[in-house]
Copies of this chain bind each other. A is one copy, B any other.
Amino acid sequence: MSDREHSYLRLAVDLAILTVRDDALQALVITRGNEPFRGRPALPGGFLRGDEDIEPAAVRELREETAIDAAGLHLEQLRAYGDPDRDPRGRVVSVAFLAIWPDMPLPTAGSDARTAGWQPVDKVRGTLAFDHDRILDDAVEHARSQLEYTTLATTFCGPAFTIGDLRHVYEVVWGHRLDPRNFNRKVTGTPGFVEPTGERRVPEVGRPAALYVAGPATTLNPPILRGLADGEEIR
């Protein structure tokens, strides 16, 4: 094949960063400060630089636009998006990443981002620039599936959490209620999933709950499968 038959293009990285906040699955969304789509909401992201691997580029863009240091954050590559018309600036292929983040106060916006903040996934669906609606949908579905087979749900929680906190994550991400009693047994009975700290947390109302930290396991065996507890939907 001759060099004329193929063309150069730019590679972008986009990040779908999810958290559970206010009883809802939320995504980190910026408001674009530059054309195209200036003023429109979008996922954080930007172009790959010359000598950068893809994942470091994602970490850098996240830091530039949201001042979040993702060095210790688990980024997972979703897939590449290559529709020739996906970016009005020309040929841009994007590699999307998924990250999970506990609910924390957000640092301020920077570089290309006019604002940066959490938005409920259900609210921003249909409003994002480029093909970011599609990317976000894929990320949410991936996260839902990940909760079944991996211990990823613990990264939605802070450093120490109760089984109720963890169950709340599953309920919000999956969109339906789980039986608290069976969930408790299942989680505590899965080796390496959570480990008790010995501490307790006293809630505003109700019995204090034991606190746990994430265990060493990364995959769940057996998995925690979705499947409606009853017909009931959450929220």
The minimal Cβ–Cβ distance linking A181 to chain B, given in whole angstroms, is: 23
Extra contacts, 17 of them, besides A5-B49, A7-B49 (Cβ < 8 A), are: A1-B34, A1-B112, A6-B48, A7-B10, A7-B48, A7-B50, A9-B11, A9-B48, A11-B93, A48-B93, A50-B91, A54-B82, A77-B79, A77-B80, A80-B95, A82-B95, A93-B93
The complex is assembled from copies of this chain, and their number is 2
Chain A interfacial positions (CB closer than 8 Å to B): 1, 5-11, 34, 46-55, 77, 79-80, 82-84, 91, 93, 95, 111-112
* CA of A84 to CA of B95, assembled, Å: 15
Contact status A46-B1, CB under 8 Å: yes
> Known: A52-B84, A54-B82. Is A9-B9 also a contact (CB below 8 A)?
yes
Contact status B53-A82, CB under 8 Å: yes
Contacts of A52 in B (CB 8 A): 84
> Known: A52-B84, A84-B52, A112-B1. Is A6-B47 also a contact (CB below 8 A)?
yes
Can you list 12 residue pairs at the A/B interface with Cβ under 8 Å? A1-B111, A6-B49, A6-B50, A7-B10, A7-B49, A8-B8, A8-B9, A8-B10, A9-B48, A54-B82, A55-B82, A77-B80
Contacts of A49 in B (CB 8 A): 5-7
Contacts of A54 in B (CB 8 A): 80, 82, 93
Contacts of A9 in B (CB 8 A): 8-11, 48
> Which 9 pairs between the two chains have the least Cβ-Cβ distance?
A6-B47, A54-B82, A8-B8, A7-B50, A80-B80, A80-B95, A51-B84, A77-B79, A53-B82
* CA of A111 to CA of B6, assembled, Å: 15
The minimal Cβ–Cβ distance linking A145 to chain B, given in whole angstroms, is: 9
Residue from the list B11, B50, B79 in contact with A11, Cβ < 8 A: B11
Contact status B7-A83, CB under 8 Å: no
Contacts of A10 in B (CB 8 A): 6-9
* CA of A10 to CA of B9, assembled, Å: 6
Contacts of A47 in B (CB 8 A): 1, 5-6
* CA of A182 to CA of B48, assembled, Å: 51
The minimal Cβ–Cβ distance linking A111 to chain B, given in whole angstroms, is: 6
